Structure 1
Amino acid sequence: MALAERIVFQPFLWQGAVLRAGAPIVCPSVEDARRRVDKIRTGILHVAGAVVVRMEVDEEIGDYGEPEYLEQIGHVPGTEEDA
């Protein structure tokens, strides 16, 4: 079993009144993903919101570990704050 760490930057975009997931971006490091979040904060990247997730994956068998949420900014569906 070949486990690998994946850092994913998941942006969210408004489509009309519906919040939809954009294309996820696999980042080479947590720092790279956090730079993307900083671009949202400074207004360089225009999205409704985003999360940064770290997880262990075994792509050979399609097994994904529990996600660890490292960052969240803006509007993100399914968060406790929305409840």
Structure 2
Amino acid sequence: MTITTQIIYQPYIRGPKGALKAGPAIACATADAGLVRAERALAAGSILGARIVRVSHDDDAEEFADPEYLGQVGEVPDAD
């Protein structure tokens, strides 16, 4: 069993009808690096918010584990 884990910076922007919309997700080396990136983008006004997420994938079974939310800044949608 081969497990791959990634830290993802998921930014959120305003969609065409005013709702929050996910921007392109970006892999980060660490959760702290993702939070720094999110704080800088929020301060610059290029995003409304961001969430830092750890995701694990079982390459052999081709399954994803539930995401682990590591931090967030600004406006983000409710986590289900």
Q: TM-score range by the shorter chain?
A: 0.7 to 0.9
How does the TM-score come out when normalised to structure 1? 0.78
In the TM superposition, what is the alpha-carbon distance from 1:60 to its structure 2 partner? 4.8
- Describe how 1:3-82 pairs up with structure 2 within 5 A: 3-16=3-16, 17-40=18-41, 43-44=43-44, 46-79=46-79
SS of the equivalent of 1:38 reads helix
Cα RMSD for the two superposed structures: 2.0
In the alignment of these two chains, the number of paired residues is 79
How does the TM-score come out when normalised to structure 2? 0.80
Unaligned 5+ segments in structure 2 are none
Query: Following TM superposition, where does structure 1 have runs of at least 4 consecutive aligned residues deviating by more than 3 angstroms?
Result: none
